[in-house]
Chains A and B, each alone.
Chain A
Amino acid sequence: MTATVHNPLIEVENLRVHFYGGAQPVCAVDGISFAIGAGETVALVGESGCGKSVTALALTRLVPQPAGRIVGGQVRLAGRDVLALSAAELRGLRGRDIAYIFQEPGSALNPVFTVGYQIGEAIRWHRSGSDVRAETLQMMRRVGLPEPEQQLRRYPHELSGGQQQRAMIAMALVCRPRLLVADEPTTALDVTIQAQILDLLQSLQQELGMAVLLITHNLGLVAETAHRVCLMYAGRIVESGIAEQVLAVPRHPYTRALLAAVPHLAQGAGRLRAIAGQVPNPAGLPPGCKFHPRCPLCRPRCRVAEPDWEEPPDHQGVRCFYWRSA
């Protein structure tokens, strides 16, 4: 899977995250591997509970403690083993090398500190001696926050949703991270604001040459912004490859079903084919292939054995016994 990236910035290999608390540990992320090169956007796509957000948090060991635990695998950032770093080294990494923006800017910002303070926090932490105010203002201008001098002193609740997300982006990018993890960055926003934020992220990415891990459930967003895409289902990657290729000629039945189930703007009279059943609960996954209860191609073998990851020479990998026959 790393074969398509020649000089990966971040490499994730066979990452496994479990959650403890119930009678049985819940396997939220089960052997995920992917890599992102500098300047590249990789989308991690899946529905609720598929493990995409947990994967994102695991990159800087932010998996909720004590219930969640990374039980296996490797995360390497520019060759460094992230999972072996000390707490102090991790603090140096978070916010400087890897930064996050989240779905709900309203709840991700701290309500009792001013926007300016929160944007400047990473500068104070990582680059002591810099002119915090000047750099904060510069970043606020860059992300298009109006009247930065006044906004600096405002509290998150005084900003609109779009402005809050801009402030989040300023916070994340103020130390020029090498990897930005954007977890559903526009889902909570109106479409016209969503378009503004996507434009801003794309131009900042080009400017800073950073890698972006885009976590989303929206395939339209993948088509418009991602270079490569990984589709997740029940804690596993079921298909991955160049975004254009995967969306144009999907191989895994889940990818195909998902694409067939999304209404298009240029919809004809045709009826969309719904995917039967519901997103599985990670605490009660079926045996065999995790998608088999909902799969139109399901055969007896799928109920008992889980297919291996298969990667043809074109690097559009897939986890299905029968992808060729469909």
Chain B
Amino acid sequence: MTAAPLLEVREVRVCYGPRRAPVHAVDGVSFTLAAGESLGLVGESGCGKSTLGRALLRLEPLQNGRIVFAGVDISALRDSRLKSFRGQAQMIFQDPHGALNPRLSVGSMLGEALAAHRRCRRAERAGRVADLLRAVGLDPLYARRYPHEFSGGQRQRVGLARALAVQPRLIVADEPVSALDVSVQVQILNLLQDLQRDLNLALLFIAHDLAAVRYLCQRVLVMYLGRIVESGPAAAVYAHPRHPYTAALLSAVPDVERGLQARRSGARRLVLPGDVPSPAADIPGCPFHPRCPSAEARCRVASPALRAVETDRCAACHFAETL
């Protein structure tokens, strides 16, 4: 990959709370995302994945770090230039009900996005709204309906249409299917997959569902307590995790095929002790060591940096090679 990536994130840090005792929700995260690439961001609640997703779109203030989008440093953009960036990078939210204005019809909602970013003339707007609805698998006549008239899956389609209205190059999707029924989830996953391929969108897919990430994403980032602990091609990471946390996450996911196999072989899943720690906790050494099944003396004092362990793969563990 020689071409410059669409999105380059360097040492991004997001803090909450008072200045003298800040809580690092995102603590020095770096990665790149190429045009047309789908990247999964996984981790448990409170690990900072949603904060990171929002920070990338400048919806959270950055403490420090740089975000370069299409060659432009967007970390300090303001006013009209920030708005033009947002016309190229859009977000889809977890709860499609809360993310849609209940008092706007779908048509005016999509029209508003088109008008705000001057994507088409007023006369063309209705036609463009119809195109958008068709693109996400909805009847163009639905433009006159309001959010409460739709099912959860349909609302998520509307949310997707609104994101697509401005013809973005990057979409950050924060748990877009976890509020939906199982049989409807795949409809949305497939739609995301099609649109991403057809429109050459870069997709950052934030989820706690590791199987959905595997299905949709080429690469994956694993986050723990505000840091990336493992990254690499999804197939390789899932087949052979290089960080004990990734291994534990994968082992904990209930899976039909593995469950049936385990019945025959009597294999047990790996169970991590303890709770997901609060990002406010001050843990010396490796942040994961209190729950890590393979922690040693060194892990209690020295925090491992994220480093390359194989081609295209990084892990933040002292013992990544022997795992």
Provide the bound-state CA to CA distance between A162 and B190, in Å.
33
- Residues of chain B from 136 to 162 with CB closer than 8 A to chain A in the complex: 151, 153-154
Q: Which of B254, B262, B269 has the most CB of A within 10 A?
A: B254
Residues of B within 8 A of A262 (CB): 182, 186, 211, 256
Task: Find out whether the CB atom of A266 lies under 8 angstroms from the CB atom of B257.
Answer: yes
Task: Find out whether the CB atom of B253 lies under 8 angstroms from the CB atom of A265.
Answer: yes
What 1/0 flags go to B260-274 for Cβ under 8 Å of A? 101100000111110
**In this complex, what residue of A is CB-closest to B181?**
A47
Query: Is A278 close to B, CB under 8 A?
Result: yes
Q: Which of B215, B263, B269 has the most CB of A within 10 A?
A: B215
Query: Is A193 close to B, CB under 8 A?
Result: yes
Query: Is B129 close to A, CB under 8 A?
Result: no
With A192-B248, A196-B272, A278-B153 as given contacts, are A264 and B257 in contact (CB-CB < 8 Å)?
yes
Q: How far is the CB of A45 from chain B (nearest CB, A)?
A: 9
Q: Label chain B's interface by main secondary structure.
A: helix
Query: Is A191 close to B, CB under 8 A?
Result: yes
Q: How far is the CB of B41 from chain A (nearest CB, A)?
A: 15
- Report the count of interface residues on A (CB-CB < 8 A): 45
Task: Find out whether the CB atom of A279 lies under 8 angstroms from the CB atom of B181.
Answer: yes
Provide the bound-state CA to CA distance between A75 and B268, in Å.
35
With A257-B183, A271-B190 as given contacts, are A263 and B215 in contact (CB-CB < 8 Å)?
yes
Task: Find out whether the CB atom of B254 lies under 8 angstroms from the CB atom of A223.
Answer: yes
Provide the bound-state CA to CA distance between A223 and B261, in Å.
9
Provide the bound-state CA to CA distance between A29 and B251, in Å.
36
Provide the bound-state CA to CA distance between A258 and B260, in Å.
16
Query: Is B184 close to A, CB under 8 A?
Result: yes
Number of interchain pairs (Cβ within 8 Å): 146
Query: Is A190 close to B, CB under 8 A?
Result: yes
Binds B, one of A106-114, A214-222, A312-320: A214-222
Task: Find out whether the CB atom of B208 lies under 8 angstroms from the CB atom of A191.
Answer: yes
Residues of A within 8 A of B122 (CB): none
Task: Find out whether the CB atom of A267 lies under 8 angstroms from the CB atom of B211.
Answer: yes
Task: Find out whether the CB atom of B252 lies under 8 angstroms from the CB atom of A192.
Answer: yes
Provide the bound-state CA to CA distance between A227 and B210, in Å.
25
Query: Is B51 close to A, CB under 8 A?
Result: no
Task: Find out whether the CB atom of B263 lies under 8 angstroms from the CB atom of A267.
Answer: no
Query: Is B214 close to A, CB under 8 A?
Result: yes
Task: Find out whether the CB atom of A223 lies under 8 angstroms from the CB atom of B260.
Answer: yes
Residues of A within 8 A of B262 (CB): 224
**In this complex, what residue of B is CB-closest to A275?**
B183
Task: Find out whether the CB atom of A265 lies under 8 angstroms from the CB atom of B184.
Answer: no
Query: Is A305 close to B, CB under 8 A?
Result: no
Q: How far is the CB of A167 from chain B (nearest CB, A)?
A: 13
Task: Find out whether the CB atom of A263 lies under 8 angstroms from the CB atom of B214.
Answer: yes
Residues of A within 8 A of B211 (CB): 262-265, 267
Partner-B contacts on A (CB < 8 A)? 47-48, 160, 162-163, 190-196, 198-199, 217-225, 244, 247-248, 257-259, 261-267, 271-276, 278-279, 294
What are 5 A-to-B residue pairs whose CB atoms are below 8 Å?
A47-B181, A195-B270, A217-B181, A223-B255, A262-B186
Q: A191-B44, A264-B257, A279-B181 are in contact. List 19 more A-B contacts (CB 8 A).
A: A190-B276, A191-B208, A191-B252, A192-B44, A194-B254, A195-B251, A199-B271, A218-B182, A219-B256, A222-B256, A223-B254, A223-B258, A224-B255, A224-B259, A224-B269, A265-B257, A266-B258, A272-B190, A274-B183
Give 5 closest A-B pairs by Cβ, nearest first: A223-B259, A220-B254, A224-B259, A195-B252, A263-B211
